[in-house]
Chains A and B, each alone.
Chain A
Amino acid sequence: MPENEQIKRLLSLIALNDDQGAYKELFMLLHPRLKQFAYSILKSNEEAEEIVSDVFVKIWEKRTQFSHIESPRLYFYTITKNLSLTRITKLKRQVNIAPEDWLVQLDSIYFDPEQLIITEEILRQIRQAVNDLPPRCRLIFKLIKDDGLKYKEVAELLHLSIKTVEAQMAIALRRIGKCMQLDIRRSHQVENQKKS
């Protein structure tokens, strides 16, 4: 788990030397993803920004206590989740907003002509397929693909079993895969029509 190792290294620099360079590096490393994660719950940029800032306030204040955490990454996602849920309860007096109601954005479904041998049309279909995924499935897919979390970490974060995470990932990929198989069939049909 190289990223967790990197986070641990930075945390120990921060704990031992009050290393502000390492603190900033950690911030730059985690900010984009933690903010997106907070945003998915709060649906507000400013609120999400403040939550991440709060998380980093905690990281600084409790810097000497992180040395024995096995997965600091999971720990920070968990604090982000908890702070966000507390915040939304206060703001909207909503109790218990379930992961089904989280707004998850995936921005890694894009076209790189050097690598992908698919058309814009297939890519559009893939995007659509990802958008049409059930919210919890999309959240799991995003956390694993974009944020690089492990199955075990996602399971703990969302209070699910690892088997559920496995199944949700399979559903997400199968739906994406379908876009491409369908297209192959369709292009064959087009060719056949031309021939006849």
Chain B
Amino acid sequence: MSQEKFWILFSKKLAGEAGAEELNELEALILQHPEWQYAIQNIEELWKNHPHTDSIHAEDAYLLHLHRMEDLNIPFGQFPTLSIETKRPVRKMKWYWAAAILLLVAGSWWGIRKMTASKTEAPIARAVNEITTRPGSKSKVELPDGTMVWLNAGSKLTYDKNYGLELREVTLTGEGYFDVVKNKNKPFIIHTSSINIKVLGTVFNVKAYPQDKHTETSLIRGSIEVTIKNRPNDKIILSPSEKLVVENDEIIEKDKQAAHHEGAAQPTDLSALVSVNKLKYISADSVVAETAWINNRLIFRDEAFSDLALRMERWYDVQMEIGDPALQNKRVTGIFRERPLNRRWKP
């Protein structure tokens, strides 16, 4: 019976189980029975519906699962239970430290407010707007189109008076967390020393300190397109929860080489320069390590101590000297909440 055959073939097609021959056979059957069309169309649409899944429920279940693992004494790595913070004698911290932090934070916020306020009030359209943060301080900026930028310590963001006319172009040195207002007609472009990032509307973090070995771009949601300076044809599209790491040294070296060869074609492998990784989610509260700094947390996981030292220098505006060279490459993991450096950390 053609009916029986039809349902077998049709369900195989929906489930992605049908071969080319079977699909042809099904096609022929359908042509003979135009009256089936209505049911076929609707079943195809119905097939595409997915069950509503409740990700919040799964998040809760995951937390319970982690607790259960703990109860069952199953070792689940060191993170997040081990953090340097818990090892410090937190309770002994004097109350005046707390007061000092409050003053500091309040003071810097007030300062920033005043700074940005006076800027927007200035009637003369300045050719270039520049927002800088000193080491040890952070800042939050609202751009003319409502895009929010959090600037980490020791960073600089500039944009000129053409911002928002056709494009929304900014230049970044250092680290910024961007929440870009959607506008399909005016792409938002970030220039750093090694890469350009083009976006339409999305949330992401860019870390482009000139002293660092890498430039990192972490995408939280939406999608962005990254091009590497001097390689405009290689476009890298990032998906949410992906991090693009570009080797800065390599690029600088390539520049030098290119200069030597007078722009001779350099068929270098793109994968040698860049890598795409997953973002580091911290299991307990699904905070992304890369963007924890905007919540005043410094999270580092399995990083070389020398890299951490560099981050702490910016974070606290201090100079760190590592006496023991063996310590340089030691891997460390932990979380800091923002607070002044304990004496023991000072040289």
A residues adjacent to B (C-beta < 8 A)? 13, 18-22, 24-25, 27-28, 31-32, 35, 49-50, 52-53, 56-57, 60-61, 106-110, 112, 115-118, 122, 126, 144-146, 150-151, 166-167, 169-174, 176-177, 180-181, 184
Contacts and interface: CB of A to CB of B under 8 A. Distances in A.
Given A20-B283, A32-B54, A35-B61, A117 B43 contact: no
A117 B39 contact: no
Contact of A57 (B8, B46, B69): B69
Contacts of B74: 57, 60-61
Given A18-B77, A53-B68, A112 B7 contact: no
Contacts of B321: none
Given A27-B58, A49-B61, A170-B11, A112 B45 contact: yes
Given A150-B17, A151-B15, A170 B4 contact: yes
A24 B76 contact: no
Interface string B48-68: 111111110111011011001
**Secondary structure dominating the interface of B:** helix
B41 interface: yes
Contacts of A118: 42
B72 interface: yes
Interface residues on B, range: 35 or more
B278 A22 contact: yes
A24 B68 contact: no
A108 B51 contact: yes
Interface of B: 3-4, 7-8, 10-12, 14-17, 35-36, 38-43, 45-55, 57-59, 61-62, 64-65, 68-69, 72, 74, 76-77, 79, 278-281, 283, 286
A92 B4 CA distance: 41
B280 A53 contact: no
Which 8 pairs, one residue from A and one from B, show the smallest C-beta to C-beta distance? A170-B7, A169-B11, A180-B39, A177-B39, A21-B281, A107-B51, A108-B51, A115-B45
Contacts of A167: 8
B39 to A, nearest CB: 4
A169 B15 contact: yes
A115 B35 CA distance: 20
B45 A13 contact: no
A116 B283 contact: no
A28 B55 contact: yes
22 contacts: A20-B79, A21-B278, A32-B58, A52-B61, A53-B68, A60-B69, A60-B74, A106-B51, A108-B51, A117-B42, A118-B42, A144-B15, A150-B16, A151-B17, A170-B8, A173-B10, A177-B7, A177-B36, A180-B38, A181-B36, A184-B35, A184-B38
